[in-house]
Structure 1
Amino acid sequence: MTPLTPEPFEDSKSLLERVEDSLLPLINLVFLLLMFFIVAGQLTDTILPELPEMAAQGADEQPEADLVVSDRGQFLVANEPVTLETLGDALPRPDDTGEPLRVGAAGVTSMSELERLFRTLEALGYSEVILLTEPAE
């Protein structure tokens, strides 16, 4: 007759002891990875150099940009106001300079305004645009 319960293991370890034995290689691997990243990532106490203050440049100074979005949402090309519809006529052609278009935006400019501007610039053929901003105060 066949017994209804399985025969006990020869080493007679409990279930908890067998689980602990199977976790030991995982613990070793995690420990080795931790040691690798501690050695590979050189931790230093060197502080980053301080960045110059934006206020030191002067508040009225405009950034060097082809297109400036003011804090009131106006578009300026060469300090002349333009509308979103006339940007194509005021800006240099995308292929003329070979450089990306530089857009200077005030820190308070909303993302929806920038998205509308970038969609217009993309439709005009500008594939590379550099966004120049300063933090809002």
Structure 2
Amino acid sequence: MTELVPPPSTSGKSLLERVEDALLPLINLVFLLLMFFIVAGQLANEPLPELPGTARMEQQRPPEADLMVRADGRWQVAGETLEGNRLLQALPAPDEQNPLRIAADEALTMADLENLLQLLEEGGYDEVLLLTEPAA
């Protein structure tokens, strides 16, 4: 009886030789990718950008806030410590397009922050932004 499917053509090569021949294009591709990344890595002269949270210089400068509230409850506007009666006069006028930016110390109590927000609301500030630092 004759077989319907002819035996695979091996052209006289063993199984190991056929596997090696099949892997050769893959080896060539990996080599070319390796060469590409070596050359591309040498062409970049610019250093990598600093990632947020890793730059210590940014943590040392004060935040760009209109009002800074310290842990002991002191208020600072443009580096000047103010009392409650002068605070509203020193702040920029209420503006719906640019809300008041507040940077509060992390040790500030919620009661002190609530008192400040109530004072600002009485002064006409309907919207404020509370600035925070990203978690390290």
TM-score (norm 1): 0.54
- Structure 2 SS opposite 1:89: helix
- Whether the aligned pair in 2 keeps the contact of 1:107 and 1:135 (CA below 8 Å) is no
Query: Relative to structure 1, is the Cα distance of residues 76 and 110 closer, same or farther in structure 2, using a 3 angstrom cutoff?
Result: same
- Deviating more after overlay: 112-121 vs 58-67: 58-67
1:126, distance to aligned residue in structure 2 (A): 0.3
Q: Return the letter of the residue paired with 2:104.
A: A
- Whether the aligned pair in 2 keeps the contact of 1:68 and 1:75 (CA below 8 Å) is yes
1:56, distance to aligned residue in structure 2 (A): 1.4
Instruction: Name the residue aligned to 2:112.
Output: 113
Structure 2 distance, partners of 1:135, 1:75, is 23
1:136, distance to aligned residue in structure 2 (A): 9.6
Structure 1: unaligned runs, 5 residues or longer? 1-50
Q: C-alpha offsets along residues 49-105 of structure 1, whole Å, 9 cap, x if unaligned?
A: xx732771355421100000123321000010011221111001103x731000001
Instruction: Name the residue aligned to 2:70.
Output: 70
- Whether the aligned pair in 1 keeps the contact of 2:53 and 2:134 (CA below 8 Å) is no
- Structure 2 SS opposite 1:94: coil
Poorly superposed stretches of 4+, deviation over 4 Å: none
- Structure 2 SS opposite 1:104: strand
1:129, distance to aligned residue in structure 2 (A): 0.2
TM-score (norm 2): 0.54
Q: Return the letter of the residue paired with 1:86.
A: R
Q: Percent identity?
A: 45
Larger Rg over CA atoms? 2
Q: Return the letter of the residue paired with 1:110.
A: T
The size of the alignment, in residue pairs, is 86
- Whether the aligned pair in 2 keeps the contact of 1:66 and 1:77 (CA below 8 Å) is yes
Cα RMSD for the two superposed structures: 2.5
